Chains A and B, each alone.
Chain A
């Protein structure tokens, strides 16, 4: 029963998230998140993982960077971030997808940035 052994070796990530696998906020892997009030201490009742996320987000970080830095699977990171956002503890930055014409200006800025960096 190698499968059973493997399972018991590690707490399943979904234990943290109450079985939820979807976040309620538009959190894509590239979405930046920052602490709503970077100077403040998070509530004591936060789980250690959520506390670590809050500490890491003193400066804006992407969901993927948070997951990689804290070694938490992406899906779990998204749910924990979603809970932090519900509590008003983190700010979720807008994500530019290029799917609306109003975002063209940002894409043009992106292109200018690339032209500066890779001449």
Chain B
């Protein structure tokens, strides 16, 4: 296949990433599918506990075989800028790989199912502690309604006062797109947090 781009043009392409987190079944993949220009792709992550810590994995063979499915989507924002959206594995036993996945993200969305608030506590807690990655909370309006007010949810999940909380419908393209816009605006409004190297 011959590309119309000259080599120098395609070299000027850059990419960026946002992370979509939340409890199992909260609507992460639905959000990614609503805004992505490609059907969400599932890839196998092999960032295991063993490989994070050691080069030699032969001593812990059972850990080495752990694989985690991860969904991602893509939006071409202009001719030189592509944004990827990565859904994090929902199960809490995969938290060890979050640092790798979150590294280098411009921001994160924590999708919350307001009927099951407790399921999103781990994700909110992770980003409250992380501090470096700007995050917002997006309440997925299942059946068009919310069981709590935004203030009640902020209090229940101990979300910092400056963190935006929006409600949306993950199945709706425009509504999901608004969530991404809110995240980018919030990221731009925050003072830059240098990320440690390595």
Contacts and interface: CB of A to CB of B under 8 A. Distances in A.
Which 4 pairs show the lowest CB-CB distances between chains A and B? A118-B177, A113-B77, A73-B46, A30-B17
A100 B194 contact: yes
A93 B14 contact: yes
B15 interface: yes
A74 interface: yes
Interface in B59-84: 61-62, 64-65, 67, 70, 72, 74-78, 81-84
Interface in A47-67: 58-60, 62, 64-65, 67
B91 interface: no
B123 interface: no
B57 interface: yes
B11 to A, nearest CB: 6
B116 interface: no
B5 interface: yes
27 contacts: A21-B54, A21-B55, A29-B86, A38-B3, A67-B44, A68-B72, A73-B46, A74-B46, A75-B45, A75-B51, A93-B11, A95-B16, A96-B106, A101-B192, A106-B14, A107-B16, A107-B184, A109-B78, A109-B81, A110-B16, A110-B83, A110-B106, A111-B184, A113-B77, A113-B78, A118-B178, A118-B181
Interface string A94-119: 11111111001011111111110111
B57 A99 contact: no
Interface in B1-38: 1, 3, 5, 7, 10-11, 13-17, 35
Dominant SS at the B interface?
mixed
Given A74-B45, A113-B78, A119-B174, A100 B192 contact: yes
Contact of B188 (A95, A107, A113, A119): A107
Contacts of B47: 74-75
Contacts of A97: 16, 104-106, 195
Interface string B167-198: 00000011011101100110110001111000
Contacts of A19: 55-56
A65 B11 CA distance: 17
A118 B1 CA distance: 31
A6 interface: yes
A81 interface: no
